Amino acid sequence: MLINNYLSKLDIKKKLIENLNSITVSQAEQEAQIMISYSSKSENNLDNNNSEIDQELIYKILNERVKGKPLAKIINEKGFWKKIFYTDDYTLDPRADSEILVEQLLIDCEKNKNQKYLKLLDLCCGTGCLGISIIDELDNAFCDFIDVSKEVLNACKKNIINFNQQHRTKIFHSNLFENYPINRLKNIDFIVCNPPYIPTKNYLNLNKETLYDPRISLDGGKLGMDYYVKIINYLISVKFKGDVYFEIDPIISKNMYKFLLEKGVKIVYKKTDYLNLDRLIKIKFPKH
């Protein structure tokens, strides 16, 4: 299908794109380039000679990819914001949609850049892509990471070590806030959270590729609201003073706004993503 010693790197790329298009991969060109980079361990450029491409490896990757396995799950890495994160069978592969949380939080933090320390909590952290990307841009920021899965936290730890952020981070194995010290929460300035939010009946109809991500990272209960409700109720009960940035989705946004109104929680702003879909909500809790 692909292997031929006389193929140039450009020819290999064309062949990859042809094969990827045959299984209707939406970003065939981008994926082909990632496969080449990964198999030649070079940056995304085409000026190295062919001998640097591990053709056996690229063939193996393509073979798995055409069977429908997502590329990130094959090569165990996914680009997010400005870095390449380790990901595996236990983690949700970081999504470009979630980058808006990093972008907005950084815009808001511009106003706090003279503050001595910024304390961040990445709740439902997965690979840690949100918290790590944010503190990587802010010299005065520290981040705690919470996830319920030990395997997920191993992946998060790997990323923290890869990006040399051990000194500004702490990991908590916890079912939401269950094992997270209340005194620590009281000092948090920002929570960033992308919880599981797919309504169960939609989860069961997700496309085959999305189902490679673990159910625990996607299924948000009957209406997709289970995590938001638990998190918001808890933060109200402890009179949390910081700001919360939630990733949301059009499937749950109406229910979310209704719930926040009932609870008297202030929506600071909402943002849509590049497809003009509801994607981010920033909230603040009433002062008592």
Ligand X SMILES: C[S@@+](CC[C@H](N)C(=O)[O-])C[C@H]1O[C@@H](n2cnc3c(N)ncnc32)[C@H](O)[C@@H]1O
Binding site for ligand X (CB under 6 A): 92, 94, 98, 124-127, 129-130, 146-149, 152, 175-176, 194-196, 216-217
Closer CB to ligand X, residue 7 or residue 100?
100
Cβ nearer to ligand X, comparing 234 with 257? 234
127 in Cβ contact with 145 (< 8 Å): no
Nearest approach in angstroms of CB 44 to ligand X is 22
Q: Pick between residue 109 and residue 146 the one whose CB is nearest to ligand X.
A: 146
**Nearest distance from residue 59's CB to ligand X, in Å?**
30
Least distance from ligand X to the Cβ atom of residue 217, Å: 4
The CB-nearest residue to ligand X is 126
Q: How far is the CB of 214 from ligand X (least distance, A)?
A: 7
d(CA 141, CA 121): 10
Closest to ligand X by CB, 230 or 241: 230
Our CB check for ligand X shows the closer of 16 and 232 to be 232
Please state the length of the chain: 288
* Least distance (Å) between residue 126 CB and ligand X: 2
